[in-house]
């Protein structure tokens, strides 16, 4: 993968990229530098500063600072909740009501490492959601997080009883297949096994809104990736129950 292929916006102070699903934001404890976005950026720029993170299987908009002054500014911007962060997610089932908020504190699971739970003893966490399209089997939802807790959206959607599609930690790891969406689905003559439309977490960091160091407003977006878009397209084609909210 070439860094230039995923850059959305770049200035002297920051670079914003469309992170591919399956890539770590920063190296894991095995220190696989080139398996992480930070590692690739360091190789490309020589020096790079991490401001915020996305889960490995979450795709979408992520910002890195290119110097220490910018790192301090953008870190404070994120910590002070002065960045608007919007996601789009494919969730299981239909949410009622179709617009709402989840205000549930989150903490580490007491016994399962790497997993989070809602618990009043945890850190406060607030997520707003709005259903964009409802298909019965799944819904496409826009989500805004006002806090940045680990796995926040995934935990809050599980709390509502509608986990993100293909979420092995908080829902089910089962991929999304066309045969589950399309009635009378048949494999092609030369195809032995059906390939999934979506085989990773159905969550995408869609948009960041913030003021840069010059006071200019920035709105940066990454379109839905091909795998999530493929599911949405098939749901639109094959779901008689689709309702769409136009924003």
Can you tell me the distance from the alpha carbon of 91 to that of 134, in angstroms, rounded to the nearest whole number?
Answer: 10
Choose, from 55, 57, 167, 227, the residue flagged as catalytic.
Answer: 55
Whether 31 is a known active-site residue: answer no
Can you tell me the distance from the alpha carbon of 202 to that of 101, in angstroms, rounded to the nearest whole number?
Answer: 20
Backbone angles phi, psi at 32, to 5 degrees: -85, 80
Q: How far apart are the first and last CA of the chain?
A: 34
Long-range contacts of 74-78 (CB under 8 A, 24+ apart): 74/14, 74/210, 75/51, 77/210, 77/211, 78/51, 78/52, 78/148
Say whether the peptide bond before residue 97 is cis (omega within 30 degrees of 0).
Answer: yes
**63, 128, 157, 180, 197 from 136: Cα distances, Å:** 35, 21, 16, 12, 18
Three-state SS at 29: coil
H or E stretch covering 84: strand 84-92
Catalytic residues: 55
């Amino acid at each position: 993968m070439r860094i230039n292929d995923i850059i959305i916006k770049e200035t002297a102070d920051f670079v914003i990229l469309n992170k591919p699903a399956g890539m770590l934001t920063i190296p894991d404890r095995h220190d696989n530098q080139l398996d992480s976005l930070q590692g690739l950026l360091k190789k490309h720029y020589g020096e790079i500063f991490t401001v915020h993170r996305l889960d490995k299987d979450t795709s979408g908009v992520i910002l890195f600072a290119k110097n220490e002054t910018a790192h301090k500014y953008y870190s404070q911007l994120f910590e002070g909740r002065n960045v608007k962060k919007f996601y789009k997610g494919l969730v299981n089932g239909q949410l009622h009501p179709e617009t709402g908020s989840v205000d549930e504190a989150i903490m580490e699971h007491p016994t399962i490492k790497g997993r989070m739970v809602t618990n009043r003893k945890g850190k406060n966490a607030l997520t707003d959601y709005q259903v964009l399209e409802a298909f019965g089997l799944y819904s496409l939802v826009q989500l805004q997080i006002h806090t940045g807790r680990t796995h926040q959206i995934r935990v809050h959607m599980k709390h509502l009883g509608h986990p993100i599609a293909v979420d092995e930690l908080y829902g089910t790891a089962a991929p999304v297949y066309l045969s589950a969406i399309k009635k009378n689905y048949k494999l092609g003559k030369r195809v032995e096994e059906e390939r999934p439309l979506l085989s990773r977490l159905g969550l995408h960091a869609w948009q960041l809104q913030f003021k840069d160091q010059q006071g200019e407003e920035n709105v940066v977006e990454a379109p839905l990736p091909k795998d999530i878009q493929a599911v949405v397209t098939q749901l639109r084609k094959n779901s008689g129950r689709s309702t769409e909210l136009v924003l």
